[in-house]
Structures are given as C-alpha cells and as structure tokens.
Amino acid sequence: MDNRAIGVFDSGLGGLTATQALNDLLPDEHIIYLADSYNMPYGEKDKNRIVEMSLNDLAFLLKRDVKAVFIACGTATSNALEALQEKSPVPVFGVVEAAVDEAAAATENGKIGLLATKASVEAGTFQRLIGEKASALETTAKACPKFATMVEDGIFDKQDERVLRAVEEYLPPLRQAGVDTVILGCTHYPLLSDVISEYMGPEVRLISAGAAAARRLAAFLRDNDLCCDKGLAQTEYFTTGAIEQFAKTASLMLRRDISPFLTGILPFDKVGNI
C-alpha cells in the first residue's frame, strides 16, 4: 500500500472530469489537483512553451511527495509526456494512449474521429498511435479551440446558442467522414458530450480521454499494490488563476462546492521554476 497522494494537473478545469472518474474508481485516495489556469489555454501555445509549463506543473506536484502523476490534459500529454517521464521519479500517466486503445477496440468501421486542441492535433500523437494500432484505421481530426475556453467560462449547456454554433462549426467533417467512434481528446470536452452526441447521432460512441486514462491509472495502482489503505478520501485543489471563477465553474461541473478545499497560488511564471 502507498498512502501518498496522486498528483493531477491540467491547464484549467477540464481535468476535473478525469479526476471525478478517478475518484469514482478509487474513492479512498488522496488527490492533489493543480489547475494552471493562469496559462490556460495550453492548446494555443507552441510545443516548447507547453513542455516548459508542464514541467513546472510536475515540479509543483513532486514537491508534495505524490506517488504518481496524472496529466489530465490532452495537450500536455501530446506534447510533453516523454519530457515529464524523463524528469519524474514516479510514474507519469497521460490521456492519449488509453483513449486510443479504447477507440481502436470500439470502432466497427475503422473510422475514428478526434476532437482536440490545436496543439494536440498539430502534435499528431493521437493520430500516430491510432495508425500504429492498425494501418486500416482512419482518423479524422478536428481542432476545436473554442470548446475549452467556453467550458472554462461555464458555458456548456447543450441549449446555449454559443455551444450549438461551435458544434456546427467543428463537427461536420467528422460526420461527413462517417466515423463511428469519437475521441474527446481534451478533458474539457466531456462537459459538451451531450450536445456532441446529439449532433453525431446515437450510433457514434464517444471516448473520453480523461476517463479512459483514469481507468488505466487505477488498474496500475491496484496491480502494483499502490492504493491507499487508510480511506483518506480527500481532494485538494490549487489554481494559478482567479480563485473565485475557478470555484464557481467547478461547482457547476461537479455539483458541489469545492471552495473550502481550494487554494490560490502564484503563477509559476511570476515565481520562476519551482
């Protein structure tokens, strides 16, 4: 057994969807969640900057003696996973590979759609891994820069005209390609799963990258006897952004008030490498 915390980070609130999935699987665990909201969105930055920010996130969590790090961010995983794994003394899990495995197993016609950030699509990590699964698999990838920002602003109701307009802008290429499986490659996107599903149709399966990775991490901890045995059941939240806005939107997402467990911290850019 290992009673140290699990460290989770994302560029903002999206990783809370993956954290909730992890909580459901491992309800006794202590989790430390870091949202680098000051630098959100990661998906519009270049690779070098994404790696730099992700290393700062990793350093913050390692200082808190975590037993594993969960990159609950498709952009950071696509661009910085190897760099973080090289620097970390504890296992580091991203959200790409598990989602690809589940999508490859789920598709019946071999046509997989990917919705992700601009940086994730340009990195090509999802597409490369899908191609390595089987040469017959086809990927249709679409960058959706508005999705994560809308979720951060608390805009994810399926009746909201802004949400509907964004869906109409981004999803037609996937429907035209005839995909039967769609990877939600950014952990913000599950908050939009209802409207995405309605647009794509009931025959199209959605794969949440964050939830898929949570299942893989939970299995790893169980298989290696690294689960907590004290029932700590505690989640601490840290944000480099506006604490009030984070608490407000998080309460909408999680349907509970996390403000007693939320701490604001200075952006890493203002305090240097940690």
Please check whether residue 206 is in contact with residue 193, taking contact to mean a CB–CB distance below 8 angstroms.
yes
Task: Report H helices in the chain.
Answer: 15-25, 47-62, 74-87, 96-106, 118-123, 125-133, 145-152, 161-170, 172-177, 193-200, 209-223, 243-254, 268-271
Assess whether the previous peptide bond of 41 is cis (omega < 30° from 0): yes
d(CA 71, CA 92): 7
227 among known catalytic residues: no
The catalytically annotated residue of 144, 186, 227, 228 is 186
Nearest to 58 by CA among 84, 83, 37: 84
In the Cβ-directed half-sphere of 223, how many Cα atoms lie within 13 Å?
A: 6
144 among known catalytic residues: no
Alpha-carbon separation of residue 206 from 31, 102, 193, 202, 216 (angstroms):
26, 10, 8, 10, 17
In this structure, the strands spanning 138-143 and 111-116 are parallel
Known catalytic residues are 73, 186
